[in-house]
Amino acid sequence: MRVYLASYGCTANRADGNLMAELLREAGHSIVSMPDEADVLIVNTCTVRSETERQMVAQIRELLPLNRRIIVTGCLAGAEPGIIRKISREISMVSPQAIERIVEAVESQNPVYYLLPEIRHRIPHFVNGVRFMLPVAEGCRGSCAFCIVRIARGALRSYPPNKIIEATASAIKSGAKEVELTAQDTASYGVDIGFRLPKLLEEICRIGGRFLIRVGMMNPESALEILDPLIQAYRSEKVYKFLHIPVQSGDDDVLRLMRRKYTVEDFKRVVNAFREVFPEIVIATDVIVGFPGESEEAFKETCKLLEEIRPDKVHVARFTARPHTKAMTMSQVPEYVKKERSVIVSKLVARIGLEINRNLVGRTLECLVVKPALYGGLEARTLSYKPVFLKDCNGLIGRFVKVRITSADSFKLFGETVEEINLRQLAE
């Protein structure tokens, strides 16, 4: 059968989409690029925020007039199957834990509901391109008051290290140059199997060839547990000097209300420890404004923390209450206050980002060219994972190049290629 598969949301969800496509191809089905070309339509959903949920529902409704069988996978199926049933009882559902049954769902002539927690055994394999998205774990150890993803994906379940290493080695052999390790909390990897993230990184770095590893989001309390060996693992030239560590709030009282398991000082300790060893490391973080109980003073503490830490990248989110979470029952901050705070923080992080990026103008940096840019030219990444946009240069995707930074804005760099790096000469 011909199957249309659209994935939304985080890298972990997109990796799930890759695995489903792989399983379907193995079973003899083909993946098509347009819904009207397909016999079966799969929508691999995200539900992290209420506006995202609305977009997913609208996307599913748009497909109904095609009169094709529809399967909804991803976090919406895992956390809120009732919403999907309200759209149509003819829609099949497969939760994130059950995606290895996607072939059964596609081949069934009747609606199926694979929603119970199951043990996943497969991780996706590299198909083509430069980037390889590789999930290392499912679920997390947290119980955050605002998070619906924990409901959708369940408790921590780490994949065996030998499978991860084998998949990475195969990807590198097939031409991958960047490996994205994904999880809800990468620093929790291996707690359940006795093989932690630093050891996994060390083993992956032993694989031959020139490639770069992007370590995905990690929570501060998990990073603290493995801080010294993690920093040691980051010393490898094969690891991007990039740290995505969400703080969510700069106020300890708000963090307690959120049920986060760290303090502001814990967060700062991790960031400062990495910066002491890697002064040019890129720090990315996440901030929620308008969480229930966030006073004006607490909000100012968040702004103060951002001024102090000066992260390169900040994802700013206005709090939206999600079903089945503790925060849904708490007294809410007025929407106009959330909007005001969001504007203030967004302007702050844009200013900080511009100041940081302008300091790189005129420098020559080594980059990996990863893909065509959305509006023409090419997108590259520095060794600290900053995005650099280049004018179109034929044949450079997947190559390491030296780039002179010519200009910058708050979120990205612009540059021109100086020379391609000869990996054979480097090896000599």
Q: What is the CATH number of the domain that holds 415?
A: 2.40.50.140
Task: Tell me the average pLDDT of the chain.
Answer: 95
Instruction: Please indicate, yes or no, whether residues 370 and 354 belong to a single structural domain of this protein.
Output: no
Instruction: Please indicate, yes or no, whether residues 66 and 184 belong to a single structural domain of this protein.
Output: no
Q: Which domain holds residue 186?
A: 131-358
Overall average pLDDT of the 181-195 stretch: 97
Q: Is the pLDDT of residue 237 over 60?
A: yes
Domain end point (choices 316, 331, 358)? 358
Instruction: Please indicate, yes or no, whether residues 262 and 220 belong to a single structural domain of this protein.
Output: yes
Model-level pTM? Answer: 0.92
Give the pLDDT of residue 424.
Answer: 45
Give the pLDDT of residue 423.
Answer: 52
Q: At what angle do helices 227-234 and 264-277 cross, to 10 degrees?
A: 30
Within a domain: 120: no
Q: Is the pLDDT of residue 426 over 50?
A: no
Instruction: Please indicate, yes or no, whether residues 147 and 242 belong to a single structural domain of this protein.
Output: yes
Instruction: Please indicate, yes or no, whether residues 187 and 207 belong to a single structural domain of this protein.
Output: yes
Domain end point (choices 57, 82, 114)? 114
Instruction: Please indicate, yes or no, whether residues 179 and 305 belong to a single structural domain of this protein.
Output: yes
In tens, the pLDDT along 6-33 reads 999 998 899 999 999 999 999 999 999 9
Within a domain: 376: yes
Contact between residue 94 and residue 118 where contact means Cβ atoms under 8 Å apart: no
Overall average pLDDT of the 359-385 stretch: 96
Lowest mean pLDDT among 40-49, 195-204, 322-331, 392-401: 392-401
Instruction: Please indicate, yes or no, whether residues 94 and 148 belong to a single structural domain of this protein.
Output: no
Instruction: Please indicate, yes or no, whether residues 22 and 101 belong to a single structural domain of this protein.
Output: yes
Within a domain: 222: yes
Q: How many structural domains does the chain have?
A: 3
Give the pLDDT of residue 428.
Answer: 40
Radius of gyration, alpha carbons of the chain: 22
Instruction: Please indicate, yes or no, whether residues 374 and 349 belong to a single structural domain of this protein.
Output: no
Instruction: Please indicate, yes or no, whether residues 56 and 143 belong to a single structural domain of this protein.
Output: no
Instruction: Please indicate, yes or no, whether residues 60 and 182 belong to a single structural domain of this protein.
Output: no
Q: Which helix (H) or strand (E) holds 134?
A: strand 131-135
Q: How confident is the model at residue 425 (pLDDT cuts 50, 70, 90)?
A: very low
Q: What is the CATH number of the domain that holds 46?
A: 3.40.50.12160
Q: How confident is the model at residue 242 (pLDDT cuts 50, 70, 90)?
A: very high
In tens, the pLDDT along 265-309 reads 999 999 999 999 999 999 999 999 999 999 999 999 999 999 999
Q: Is the pLDDT of residue 239 over 70?
A: yes
CB neighbour list of residue 227: distance below 8 Å, 6 or more residues apart:
269, 270, 273
Q: What is the CATH number of the domain that holds 319?
A: 3.80.30.20
Within a domain: 84: yes
**Residue whose structure tokens are 């998070």:** 147
Domain end point (choices 309, 324, 358)? 358
In tens, the pLDDT along 85-119 reads 999 999 999 999 999 999 999 999 999 999 877 77
Instruction: Please indicate, yes or no, whether residues 302 and 333 belong to a single structural domain of this protein.
Output: yes
Q: What does the block give as tokens for 236?
A: 């490898």
Contact between residue 371 and residue 129 where contact means Cβ atoms under 8 Å apart: yes
Give the pLDDT of residue 136.
Answer: 97
